[in-house]
């Protein structure tokens, strides 16, 4: 079923039931819409775009922070037959210009947070004829039309644009942290199957309530919500990540499923440990599933989580924007004994691990993970060479190093580009980061390689210590004696670990920051 048809069905079957709730704790604000309202907004946005000349195959830039209008606008774009082009909210004005030019976008919807960036490049966006603004009237640029006014120009009837499963649906750009953002072309088939995979993995029913915190522009958050969407179950969009705000939302909205990033889960545990929040103040019995994706998950985090929330099911999910988000590999709620692994091939997915010549390696040996399934992207848009290098015989090279264990579970070793080569040894930072996170004083850790004349690279750790604790270099290096000698960090820096909006450690930033440092290091 086309994903826009799922919305139509939900509006028919669950018309007056709540579909989406927006919570903004900082402003003590809560807003909700029904499935019928969601559907009407999507239709009105679609018809208004069509009236402006947007047609099937055109592209519409979608640049907004999480809000109640986000998903209706996204589905409205899809209903025109145009491609939705959601952009990372951290993109600079230059990034936005680049993406708009690659897409040859015809229209843009953007939020108040992006006014300055859009203003700076507006004259360069020659292909964009219409700008729609979501935000307060006093922040609206003269060239943009208010969202509510724009909606009123479109009817609430289905625009009835013929769409089939193999039609192009969306253009997602990679985060840009490692260079120029690459455009990933997804089809309606990709989006539809993402709904099926998520629901199959986490068994959502109409009674579930999904708490959505990560940014919707990313395939991760939205595609996890798809499991609820598939069965007409409600969702809460939470604007804010403070532990008390998350627990309040779970308690007051009766959320049953929460997808967290590693830092947020750590923050919740720390807040409980310090007494900043007290679990008895919240109604949490209905919370059945906590799952984490988007980055490697320290096993120590889940062990500590299960001590506090012993009745929670847990799952971790692995995926890429190139695989329409999470689901090509998942641990499975029945496999808690394998915490640390990313899991097994997801529903209707295949996986293999290969060497540099694309030959499968033996169990236990590290190699590059390849995946194959219905959610593999069509291509890197306008980049046939990158597509050819990445999709080989229907298999997608992920760029991630992994290994199979004796039971057939996949363990993520590291990003191929993040492997440290020191003294001729391949060292995988994730293994060291997992070890460091076992230290009760460490809140977050990143491990990178920085150039060294004698060894090629040396292992370097960036450590964030928990609030209220202290750690000396001597104490840190003493703890690291638990690692094999060649894996031990030779340098350590104490400070924040930068992560992108989906929780991934921004290692290019760290390498750029610390590669020029020349302090003495530990041998």
The DSSP code sequence of 368-392 is EEEEESTTS-SEETT-HHHHHHHEE
Distance CA 319, CA 204 (A): 20
Q: Where are the domains of the chain?
A: 33-187, 419-514
Burial of 400 (0-12, 13-18, 19+ CB in 10 A): buried
User: Of 502, 405, 417, nearest to 457 (Cα)?
Assistant: 417
Residue where the block lists tokens 């819409």: 33
Are the C-beta atoms of residues 463 and 442 closer than 8 Å to each other?
yes
Distance CA 487, CA 217 (A): 37
The Cβ of residue 458 has, within 10 Å, a number of other Cβ atoms equal to 21
User: Of 447, 445, 415, 500, nearest to 266 (Cα)?
Assistant: 445
User: Of 430, 435, 404, nearest to 419 (Cα)?
Assistant: 430
Here the tokens at position 78 are: 């899809």
Distance CA 175, CA 500 (A): 8
Are the C-beta atoms of residues 280 and 233 closer than 8 Å to each other?
no
Are the C-beta atoms of residues 302 and 289 closer than 8 Å to each other?
no
pLDDT of residue 193: 96
Here the tokens at position 51 are: 């009236």
Distance CA 220, CA 226 (A): 10
pLDDT of residue 453: 66
Scanning 80-146, the segments in alpha helix (DSSP H) are 93-103, 115-121
Coarse DSSP helix, strand, coil percentages of the chain, rounded to the nearest 5 percent = 35, 30, 35
Length of the chain: 523
Q: 362: which residues sit within 8 A by CB, 6+ positions away?
A: none
Distance CA 42, CA 240 (A): 25
User: Of 315, 327, 309, nearest to 259 (Cα)?
Assistant: 315
**Model's pTM, two decimal places?**
0.85
H/E stretch holding 307: helix 299-308
The pLDDT profile of the chain, 523 residues, written as one tens digit per residue, is 999 999 999 999 999 999 999 999 999 999 999 999 999 999 999 999 999 999 999 999 999 999 999 999 999 999 999 999 999 888 889 889 999 999 999 999 999 999 999 999 999 999 999 999 999 999 999 999 999 999 999 999 999 999 999 999 999 998 644 457 889 999 999 999 999 999 999 999 999 999 999 999 988 889 999 999 999 999 999 999 999 999 999 999 999 999 998 888 989 999 999 999 999 999 999 999 999 876 667 788 899 999 999 999 999 988 989 999 889 999 999 998 898 899 999 999 999 999 999 999 999 998 999 999 999 999 999 999 999 999 999 999 998 889 999 999 999 886 777 778 776 677 878 889 889 999 999 999 999 888 876 677 889 999 999 998 999 999 999 999 988 888 899 999 999 998 877 677 888 788 888 875 434 333 3
pLDDT of residue 516: 59
User: Of 192, 278, 207, 211, nearest to 250 (Cα)?
Assistant: 211
Are the C-beta atoms of residues 3 and 195 closer than 8 Å to each other?
yes
Residue where the block lists tokens 């919500």: 225
What distance lies between CA 350 and its chain's CA centroid? 22
Scanning 153-261, the segments in alpha helix (DSSP H) are 188-202, 219-229, 243-253
- 59-63 and 83-86 as β-strands: parallel, antiparallel, unpaired? parallel
Q: The domain 419-514: what is its CATH number?
A: 3.30.300.30
> Quick one: DSSP state of residue 439?
S
Distance CA 256, CA 120 (A): 43
User: In terms of CATH, what superfamily is 33-187?
Assistant: ANL, N-terminal domain (3.40.50.12780)
pLDDT of residue 213: 93
């Amino acid at each position: 079923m086309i994903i826009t048809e799922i919305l139509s069905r939900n509006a028919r079957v669950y018309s007056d039931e709540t579909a989406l709730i927006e919570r903004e704790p900082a402003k003590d604000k809560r807003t909700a819409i029904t499935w019928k309202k969601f559907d009407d907004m999507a239709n009105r946005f679609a018809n208004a775009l069509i009236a402006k000349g947007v047609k099937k195959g055109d592209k519409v830039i979608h640049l907004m922070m999480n809000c109640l209008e986000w998903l209706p606008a996204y589905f409205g774009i899809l209903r025109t037959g145009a491609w939705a082009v959601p952009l990372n909210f951290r993109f600079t004005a230059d990034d936005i210009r680049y993406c708009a030019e690659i897409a040859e976008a015809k229209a843009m919807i953007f939020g108040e947070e992006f006014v300055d960036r859009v203003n700076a490049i507006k004259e360069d966006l020659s292909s964009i004829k219409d700008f729609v603004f979501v935000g307060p009237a006093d922040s609206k640029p003269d060239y943009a039309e208010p969202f509510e006014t724009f909606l009123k120009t479109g009817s609430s009837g289905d625009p009835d644009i013929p769409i089939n499963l193999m039609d192009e649906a969306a253009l997602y750009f990679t985060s840009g942290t490692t260079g120029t953002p690459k455009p990933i072309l997804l089809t309606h088939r990709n989006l539809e199957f993402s709904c099926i995979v998520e629901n199959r993995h986490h068994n959502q029913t109409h009674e579930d309530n999904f708490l959505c915190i990560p940014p919707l522009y990313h395939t991760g958050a939205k595609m996890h919500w798809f499991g609820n969407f598939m069965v007409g179950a409600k969702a809460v969009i939470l604007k804010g990540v403070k532990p008390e705000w998350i627990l309040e939302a779970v308690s007051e909205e009766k959320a049953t499923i929460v997808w967290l990033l590693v830092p947020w889960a750590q923050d919740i545990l720390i807040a409980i440990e310090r007494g900043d929040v007290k679990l008895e103040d919240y109604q949490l019995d209905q919370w059945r599933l906590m799952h984490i994706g988007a980055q490697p998950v320290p096993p120590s985090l889940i062990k500590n989580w299960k001590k506090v929330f012993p009745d929670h099911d847990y799952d971790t999910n692995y995926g890429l924007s190139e695989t329409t988000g999470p689901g090509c590999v998942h641990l499975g709620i029945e496999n808690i004994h394998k915490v640390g692994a990313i899991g097994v091939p997801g529903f209707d997915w295949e996986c293999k691990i290969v060497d540099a010549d694309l030959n499968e390696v033996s169990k236990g040996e590290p190699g590059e993970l390849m995946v194959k399934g219905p959610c593999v992207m069509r291509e890197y848009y306008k980049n046939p060479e990158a597509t050819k290098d990445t999709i080989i015989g229907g298999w997608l090279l992920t760029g991630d190093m992994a290994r199979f264990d004796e039971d057939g579970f996949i363990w993520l070793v590291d990003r191929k580009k993040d492997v440290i080569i020191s003294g001729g040894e391949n060292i995988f930072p994730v293994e060291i980061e997992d070890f460091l996170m076992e230290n009760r004083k460490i809140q977050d850790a990143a491990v990178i390689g920085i150039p060294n004349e004698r060894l090629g690279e040396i292992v370097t750790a960036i450590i964030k210590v928990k609030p209220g604790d202290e750690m000396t270099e001597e104490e840190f290096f003493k703890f690291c004696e638990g690692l094999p000698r060649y894996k031990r960090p030779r340098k350590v820096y104490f400070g924040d670990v930068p992560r992108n909006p989906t929780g991934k450690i921004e290692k290019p930033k760290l390498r750029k920051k610390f590669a020029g440092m020349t302090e003495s290091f530990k041998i």
